[in-house]
Homo-oligomer: A and B are copies of this chain.
């Protein structure tokens, strides 16, 4: 395939489930010409409490599926997959792949003034210390404090985005970070932007909240430009501009997706990801 034809190929985006839609949404905003093939691993969600080995195996299967759809680049829109699997998969792959962690780390390192950054995420992401690794590569003097927040994903999925229970749980999780005087906080899980206002209320107006989704979409755009892979042709709405695949529960995914995305999802197809 030549570069121009490659440019018209879709971008592959994957996540453990629905959370990565917050990243897909940013990609739609920042590069409106790009086609997207999204995969959500709803049959094996969540990723955040599982091991590096398992998440790497799952991510490899998804990458094989996306390659079969002839994507030109892949975005791992899941912090846990980015933390655990990206380095290994990058080596095996002949197209570009980016995760959400490195872009998030970069903007946080630029944003902090007092050199104290907090990170919230799943047990996997926090346990991997990946954000501090990347941030300290940029500036070894920055102190990074991580806090796993395992109940945030279930609370978001239960729809308790603004609720006293979420306030209470968030207060418990975040107190160790606010007490230590961070001035920047990374929302290190794709579900968390959906409870941004709760987090904001607790950490106060002075703390900069970093949503890696925005930076990831920007990095994707830069990457596609650099590689000459940006799609020059404006896309028609509808048709096969945005395609959604899941490993289970397509209907539920569709409902959730339609509450997040501005464009109606025509349909989500179910595939058996274990076959890849």
Residue from the list B42, B150, B157 in contact with A50, Cβ < 8 A: B42
Instruction: Answer yes or no: A34 CB below 8 A from chain B CBs.
Output: no
Whether B248 pairs with A50 at a CB distance below 8 angstroms is: yes
Residues of A within 8 A of B (CB): 42-44, 49-51, 53-54, 57, 150-151, 154-155, 157-158, 164-165, 168-169, 247-249, 272, 274
Residue from the list B57, B155, B249 in contact with A49, Cβ < 8 A: B249
- Whole-angstrom distance between the alpha carbons of A151 and B157 in the complex? 9
Chain B residue nearest to A159 (CB atoms) is B150
Whether A165 pairs with B154 at a CB distance below 8 angstroms is: no
Chain B residues lying within 8 Å of A42, measured Cβ to Cβ, are: 50
Whole-angstrom distance between the Cβ of A91 and the nearest chain B Cβ: 22
Chain B residues lying within 8 Å of A54, measured Cβ to Cβ, are: 43, 247-249
Chain B residues lying within 8 Å of A50, measured Cβ to Cβ, are: 42-43, 248-249
Chain B residues lying within 8 Å of A155, measured Cβ to Cβ, are: 151
Chain B residue nearest to A251 (CB atoms) is B51
Residue from the list B53, B154, B168 in contact with A151, Cβ < 8 A: B154
Q: Could you list 9 A-B pairs, sorted by A, with CB under 8 Å?
A: A43-B50, A49-B249, A51-B248, A54-B247, A54-B248, A57-B272, A151-B154, A151-B155, A165-B165
Chain B residues lying within 8 Å of A43, measured Cβ to Cβ, are: 44, 50, 54
Chain B residues lying within 8 Å of A51, measured Cβ to Cβ, are: 248-249
Chain B residue nearest to A58 (CB atoms) is B43
Residue from the list B154, B168, B272 in contact with A150, Cβ < 8 A: B154
Chain B residues lying within 8 Å of A248, measured Cβ to Cβ, are: 50-51, 53-54
Chain B residues lying within 8 Å of A150, measured Cβ to Cβ, are: 154, 157-158
Chain B residues lying within 8 Å of A169, measured Cβ to Cβ, are: 165
Residue from the list B157, B158, B274 in contact with A274, Cβ < 8 A: B274
- Whole-angstrom distance between the alpha carbons of A227 and B220 in the complex? 63
Chain B residue nearest to A247 (CB atoms) is B54
- Whole-angstrom distance between the alpha carbons of A274 and B60 in the complex? 14
- Whole-angstrom distance between the alpha carbons of A234 and B238 in the complex? 68
